Chains A and B, each alone.
Chain A
């Protein structure tokens, strides 16, 4: 089960992910990110405080947009990761390519 919510704030969008991301619903995450890019979002905060699990397919979605983020000068920061989920990002090495912060405040500050 995955619940995705978009919260528009002043100059950035908060993408709230709740539940689990696996192969079956990773397309929903993909669609949500694609939609934000289409809308021209430049600053994206991903709130993973209630994300309990992410499978390789879910990680693949983030990974597949890295290049596009760079090209379009989009900043993306993930925050609030549970330790277990954070480990997954770290093991894969994705933490080297995506900024990961503990709180929303830190995440906001990390964006220029």
Chain B
């Protein structure tokens, strides 16, 4: 039931207000009829008072509803509503007076019924004006409200409510209690009227308008008040509705608040441009601090920077120099200045001692702005502010004015802040871009890593006469070490280990070429020397001039128990003889692939064959193992490796491998070899 009513509260309150007003009119007319015909109408004045209270409450509800509902509650709009209502009440009141003036002393002029009707019209309009203004002022007072102000306002509303019923006690006579009530309301009104926080937010133009509106309200209120006072003595009015404490109290409140607002707005006029300027600065600052969105570029920030700096300092002209790739300052933006004038000014500035001469040098002092006097026909002072990004000069903002010493401390401060903020924005933008780029590189590197991992075999070929295990680790994301096996026929196996010069991605590329060469050549079952020579021919065609690959190539024959091998500049292989319980490096001459790229190369390649037996161990390594350094810079070395293998040759291949890695790590004192790739392959004969 209640829910049905709530959306129509405005209409319902309006309707009841009109009805109560009509009832008031009717009751009074009844009274006048009674008076005229000397009949006691028997209507007590309390009936009128009750109707009046009902009327007030309904009007209050109606305006409360309509003002709250109105979306466009800008200050000026609110004040205009008050002013227009006042104007309407004033105009109708004047019309009625004019009408009576025209009638003169005719009988119609003295007709009590008509006079009574117009009295009610005036009463209604005054009530509308005062109540609507009160509610409008409420919004102004409660702008940027604090708890204290809200409580104060609520107390004021209760006071008004009480004063509405006051009429039942004193029958609208001017006694001490009435005056006491008025004083109370006046004090309250004054204390509420100091809440004028909305005024600074008006622009200069809006302030002028609001001054106009307030004067309308003040004039209307004054006139209507005098009008109300004049009714007090009129005898044709049976029940005086206007000498009500509430109405008089509202008069006082509306008048005082309007007067305060009027005066404060008036005195605020001269400083309003300062406040507006500060507001613009705050907005500019916010624009500068918003990071540049993707797709935009730094120039937008610099654009805002020069515009906001110029408006903050009232500069007559200005420009922005930005350091280009060759460390030269070039003018990126300029405002209100001709190019040749700009050049003249620049020449003058450069000659000034205060001007920071070295473009790339960072000045020691904190303040990054310098004010310089200039001797130019038009311009007399300049403010030079350096833009720094990451402690590095990025550019310079120059503002010039036609007056001497045109830049005061506040301007310098605000411009320094603007410049600082713009630099942060640009820096953030650059960092973001870099981060995106790095992210992309990282992804590509991860792809390279995956590809490279697939280049190393997951399966090592062998038969039951030997076991084999291998290990590889890269210093960077991708490495240049390579090993692989291939079963040539039933009892012959090819083994290769290699190391590509350099590190990282370029090494990884060359390694993949090596793998291609291996898989091509191995199909022809070449002898080790032939393999090396052919590989040199092939790789000589595609390796960069300063790149080479070292490799060792082995062919194991498990029936004849022989190993044939060649070495191309690769670090020597360790061979443990079970028979003698000794390990030694296989010595054979050889030259790295790609070092000599012509037919002479084969002169430097050799091939050897030797026998192996059960219990023998072959350890193939890359130089990362022997060159691993401890914290004193000492290398792990060939000798240490030899001893480790000799000591643990009785274990199986996997165990030997694990022990070698463990010993290397123990030697260097950590779990990685930071600056080289390292690999090893262990073959144990059964």
A residues touching B (Cβ–Cβ < 8 Å)? 22-23, 30, 56-57, 59-61, 63-64, 66, 84, 91-94, 96-97
How far is A93 from B635 in the complex, measured between Cα atoms in Å? 21
Contact of A93 with B604 in the complex, beta carbons under 8 Å: yes
Q: B569 an interface residue at 8 Å Cβ cutoff?
A: yes
Q: B420 an interface residue at 8 Å Cβ cutoff?
A: no
Contact of A23 with B502 in the complex, beta carbons under 8 Å: yes
A63 to chain B, nearest CB (A): 5
Of B501, B591, B596, B604, the residue contacting A56 (CB under 8 A) is B501
Count of B interface residues, CB-CB < 8 Å: 24
Closest chain B residue to A64, Cβ basis: B546
Contact of B547 with A60 in the complex, beta carbons under 8 Å: yes
How far is A87 from B612 in the complex, measured between Cα atoms in Å? 27
Of A23, A84, A96, the residue contacting B503 (CB under 8 A) is A23
Closest chain B residue to A52, Cβ basis: B633
Contact of B595 with A63 in the complex, beta carbons under 8 Å: yes
Q: A96 and B591 in contact (CB under 8 A), knowing A60-B546, A61-B546?
A: yes
17 residue pairs A–B, Cβ–Cβ below 8 Å = A22-B675, A30-B546, A56-B499, A56-B501, A57-B503, A57-B546, A60-B546, A63-B594, A64-B545, A64-B546, A66-B595, A93-B569, A93-B591, A93-B592, A93-B595, A94-B569, A94-B595
Q: A91-B571, A93-B589 are in contact. List 7 more A-B contacts (CB 8 A).
A: A56-B499, A56-B548, A57-B503, A57-B546, A63-B546, A63-B594, A96-B591
Q: B449 an interface residue at 8 Å Cβ cutoff?
A: no
How far is A91 from B586 in the complex, measured between Cα atoms in Å? 12
Contact of B569 with A60 in the complex, beta carbons under 8 Å: no
Q: B590 an interface residue at 8 Å Cβ cutoff?
A: yes
Contact of A60 with B503 in the complex, beta carbons under 8 Å: no
Contact of B596 with A97 in the complex, beta carbons under 8 Å: yes
Q: A57 and B569 in contact (CB under 8 A), knowing A92-B592, A93-B591?
A: no
How far is A92 from B545 in the complex, measured between Cα atoms in Å? 16
Q: A60 and B596 in contact (CB under 8 A), knowing A92-B550, A92-B591?
A: no
Contact of B571 with A57 in the complex, beta carbons under 8 Å: no
How far is A61 from B548 in the complex, measured between Cα atoms in Å? 10
Nearest 3 Cβ contacts at the A-B interface = A93-B591, A56-B501, A64-B546
Chain A residues, Cβ within 8 Å of B592: 63, 92-94
Chain B residues, Cβ within 8 Å of A66: 595-596
Q: B479 an interface residue at 8 Å Cβ cutoff?
A: no
A98 to chain B, nearest CB (A): 10
Of B501, B503, B571, the residue contacting A59 (CB under 8 A) is B501
Contact of A93 with B547 in the complex, beta carbons under 8 Å: no
How far is A92 from B546 in the complex, measured between Cα atoms in Å? 14
Of A22, A23, A84, A91, the residue contacting B569 (CB under 8 A) is A91
Q: B572 an interface residue at 8 Å Cβ cutoff?
A: yes
The CB with the most chain A CB atoms within 10 A, among B503, B546, B548, B604, is that of B546
How far is A60 from B571 in the complex, measured between Cα atoms in Å? 16
Contact of A91 with B547 in the complex, beta carbons under 8 Å: no
Chain B residues, Cβ within 8 Å of A91: 550, 569-572
Closest chain B residue to A90, Cβ basis: B589
Chain A residues, Cβ within 8 Å of B545: 64
A69 to chain B, nearest CB (A): 13
The CB with the most chain B CB atoms within 10 A, among A23, A60, A96, is that of A60
Contact of B595 with A92 in the complex, beta carbons under 8 Å: yes
A9 to chain B, nearest CB (A): 28
Contact of B595 with A97 in the complex, beta carbons under 8 Å: yes
Chain B residues, Cβ within 8 Å of A61: 546
A64 to chain B, nearest CB (A): 4
Contacts of B516-575 to chain A: CB distance below 8 A = 545-548, 550, 568-572
Contact of B548 with A96 in the complex, beta carbons under 8 Å: no
Of A56, A57, A59, A93, the residue contacting B590 (CB under 8 A) is A93
Contacts of B590-612 to chain A: CB distance below 8 A = 590-592, 594-596, 604
Chain B residues, Cβ within 8 Å of A57: 501-503, 546
How far is A84 from B636 in the complex, measured between Cα atoms in Å? 12
B532 to chain A, nearest CB (A): 11
Chain A residues, Cβ within 8 Å of B570: 91
Chain A residues, Cβ within 8 Å of B591: 92-94, 96-97
A112 to chain B, nearest CB (A): 21
Chain A residues, Cβ within 8 Å of B569: 91-94
Chain B residues, Cβ within 8 Å of A59: 501, 548
One digit per residue, 1 when the CB lies within 8 angstroms of any chain A CB and 0 when it does not, for chain B 169-186 equals 000000000000000000
How far is A57 from B592 in the complex, measured between Cα atoms in Å? 13
Contact of A60 with B604 in the complex, beta carbons under 8 Å: no
Chain B residues, Cβ within 8 Å of A22: 675
How far is A60 from B593 in the complex, measured between Cα atoms in Å? 11
Closest chain A residue to B596, Cβ basis: A97
How far is A97 from B499 in the complex, measured between Cα atoms in Å? 20
Chain A residues, Cβ within 8 Å of B596: 66, 97
A52 to chain B, nearest CB (A): 8
Q: A60 and B501 in contact (CB under 8 A), knowing A91-B571, A91-B572, A96-B604?
A: yes
Chain B residues, Cβ within 8 Å of A60: 501-502, 546-548
B498 to chain A, nearest CB (A): 12
How far is A63 from B593 in the complex, measured between Cα atoms in Å? 11
Closest chain A residue to B591, Cβ basis: A93
A3 to chain B, nearest CB (A): 17
A68 to chain B, nearest CB (A): 10
Contact of B502 with A56 in the complex, beta carbons under 8 Å: yes
Closest chain A residue to B543, Cβ basis: A60
How far is A61 from B502 in the complex, measured between Cα atoms in Å? 11
Chain B residues, Cβ within 8 Å of A63: 546, 548, 592, 594-595
How far is A57 from B604 in the complex, measured between Cα atoms in Å? 21
A102 to chain B, nearest CB (A): 20
B605 to chain A, nearest CB (A): 9
How far is A9 from B635 in the complex, measured between Cα atoms in Å? 36
How far is A37 from B604 in the complex, measured between Cα atoms in Å? 28
A25 to chain B, nearest CB (A): 13
How far is A56 from B592 in the complex, measured between Cα atoms in Å? 11
Chain A residues, Cβ within 8 Å of B604: 93, 96
Chain A residues, Cβ within 8 Å of B589: 93, 96
Chain B residues, Cβ within 8 Å of A56: 499, 501-502, 548, 550
A96 to chain B, nearest CB (A): 6
Chain B residues, Cβ within 8 Å of A97: 591, 595-596
How far is A63 from B548 in the complex, measured between Cα atoms in Å? 9
How far is A63 from B592 in the complex, measured between Cα atoms in Å? 10
How far is A30 from B596 in the complex, measured between Cα atoms in Å? 18
Closest chain B residue to A91, Cβ basis: B571
How far is A43 from B364 in the complex, measured between Cα atoms in Å? 51
How far is A34 from B162 in the complex, measured between Cα atoms in Å? 104
Chain B residues, Cβ within 8 Å of A96: 589, 591, 604
